Amino acid sequence: MMSDTSSLKGLTRRQVLSRATSAGASFVIGAGFLAASNGAWAIETGVLRPETMATLVQMARDIYPHDQVADEYYVLAVKGYDTPEAAEGIETGIATLNAAARNKGHANYLSIGWERARVDILRGMEDGTFFQRIRGGLVTGLYNQKAVWPIFGYEGASFEQGGYIARGFNDINWL
């Protein structure tokens, strides 16, 4: 669990989920918090509405979808927007995203079942500043998380282990 925040500590998974409503397939949303549907993680939200944070996390995954990367890393990649300075722009951007979803006959962005349909909506706003801000931030926000690197096989720093001179710099065996 990535972020057992204080107000949620001590609650069982069942208790967390009992205080929440489902949003999309992945998330449950409660008063001031967002959690995984399977209870794997939960975070408190500060300034952003929990629904907004959930939508932002889904948007992040739809921009850079990696099925082997759990939601908690996408949450970490965007939770820096939950500040008084950033919140207004994020709420406005997500409201625009939901409006685009409604124009296509959906209740909101999170309610759309197929990734392809969500991506169609993102394509319609990809040149806008909100989309580019979120996408640009994810390039480092997601891929520069050291905890994400092993999922892709990337080994990171090697000097401390003496480089790869004795650790497989030329160990390829299939050529």
Partner 1 sequence: MAAPFDLNDDDVVAIIGTGAGGGVLANELAQKGVRVVALEAGARHEPQDFINDEWDSFGQLAWLDPRTTSGDWRVAKDFSGLPAWIVKSVGGTTQHWAGASLRFQDHEWKAATTYGTVQGASLLDWPIDAAEMDPWYTKAEDKLNVTRTGDRPGLPGNNNYLVFEAGAKALGYKDVHTGRMAINSDDKRDRPMCQQTGFCFQGCKWGAKWSAGYVDIPQGEATGNLEVRTQSHASRILHNAAGKVTGVEYFDTDGNLQMQKARIVCVAGNSFESPRLLLNSASSMFPDGLANSSGQVGRNYMRHMTGSVYAVFDKPVRMWRGTTMAGIIQDEARHDPSRGFVGGYELETLSLGLPFMAAFLDPGAWGREFTTALDHYQNMAGMWIVGEDMPQETNRVTLNHDVMDSYGLPVVNVHFDDHPNDIAMRNHAYKQGQAVYEAVGATRTFPTPPYPSTHNLGTNRMSENARDGVVNKWGQTHDIANLFVSDGSQFTTGAAENPTLTIVAIAIRQADHIAREMSGQKI
CB 85, min distance to partner 1, A: 22
CA–CA separation, 3 and 101 (whole Å): 30
CB 159, min distance to partner 1, A: 5
CB 98, min distance to partner 1, A: 20
Helix or strand run (H / E) with residue 90: helix 84-103
117 scored as a contact of partner 1 (CB under 8 A): no
CA–CA separation, 159 and 152 (whole Å): 20
CB 135, min distance to partner 1, A: 6
**Closer by beta carbon to partner 1, 88 or else 126:** 126
Residue range at the interface with partner 1 (CB under 8 A); choices 14-22, 47-55, 85-93, 137-145: 137-145
Buried b (16+ CB within 10 A) or exposed e, 129-166: ebbeebeebbeebbeeeeebeeeeeeeeeeeeeeeeee
Residue with tokens 């299939």: 174
**Closer by beta carbon to partner 1, 13 or else 66:** 66
Interaction site with partner 1 (CB under 8 A): 62-66, 68, 119, 126, 135, 139-140, 142-144, 148-149, 152-160, 162-165, 167-172, 174-175
